[in-house]
Structure 1
Amino acid sequence: MEEARADQTTTDLAWLWTTLQIAGWSLGAVVVLFGPSVFLGILRARRRRRRAGGDDHAERIAGGWAELVDTARDTGTPVGAGATRREQAAALDERFPEAGVGALAVRADAGVFGAGTPSDAEVSAYWNDVDTAVGGIRRSVRWRRRLAARFFPVSVWSTLFRRRGRRS
């Protein structure tokens, strides 16, 4: 009688083991498929927070411009790395005329190289305009390109490889 109960208990727990195995394999597959994208998203959010939240107002404005350029690169638009902001803006205005990138380049140059220090309100307004331009850039590309930019951002990959090259 006790042997039958022990056998029955083992059999009753077999379904639990099978369920845990299936759940474990499924979770592993999800992590393998989406883990790199989540990791890159975390890096991108951290980079944006660092750019937007610095103490120096001029650096925050320069960070807003860098955010705009990175978005353009992520959506497949080549931007000259050694070019000035206005040269970059000219290239971006050709590709995204509705985004109003030229005015943002002029404001960034004024904020970084101007005589005075930009106020908190000016920096906030600049970042709001950058967010509007970034939205315009993203809307102007096809959905596949937007999806690729979200899950495989070129700007984050290049930053990772550049830092790795400096360490070795």
Structure 2
Amino acid sequence: MDNEYKQIGYISTEGGPVLFGDYEIITKWNGIMTDDYEKLIEANEEDFIYKIADKNVVAWDPEGGACISIHCNNKDDFTFIKSFIALKDNDKYIDSIGQNEEVLGEVEIFSNTLLILYATESGALLEPLKDNSITRLTGGLAFENSVLSIPVSNGVYRCVSDLVFDSGKLYQAKRLLLTKL
């Protein structure tokens, strides 16, 4: 198995949570078009498991507007990084020792597709999947690059969030790790 991580894409946001979960579930999400988004932020948590149609998704807040880089070392291990320094150097945070680790829980993927969506957007507006490759889906979205679909193996994925600091204890990056169990 190849253990070297490669950047496979990114997601852009204007601030607020990003949803990670099964394609079939997140396309039921309506964002700010209904009260879906308001209910999500009422939780008043930073990173947590949230239910859509009785299924788990991850709501992860990169803390402000962000360009979140997506790295993969194989089909089933992902690291999502929001750097507070420079996007071009996000690779250096992949193997960094994290602090304040929080196990968020588990999500199940059953459509062979992980969907990542900036939570203000409506998954219901997305165009259907066209092929089995990493796809920047389009539709009636407000923000460019606010959604990405990634083909994955079906199964349960463990979700962990942590922070990376430099030697002077300055906040460098926030990470979300999704690993297939």
**TM (normalized to structure 1)?**
0.24
More helix by share: 1
**Larger Cα Rg: Structure 1 or Structure 2?**
1
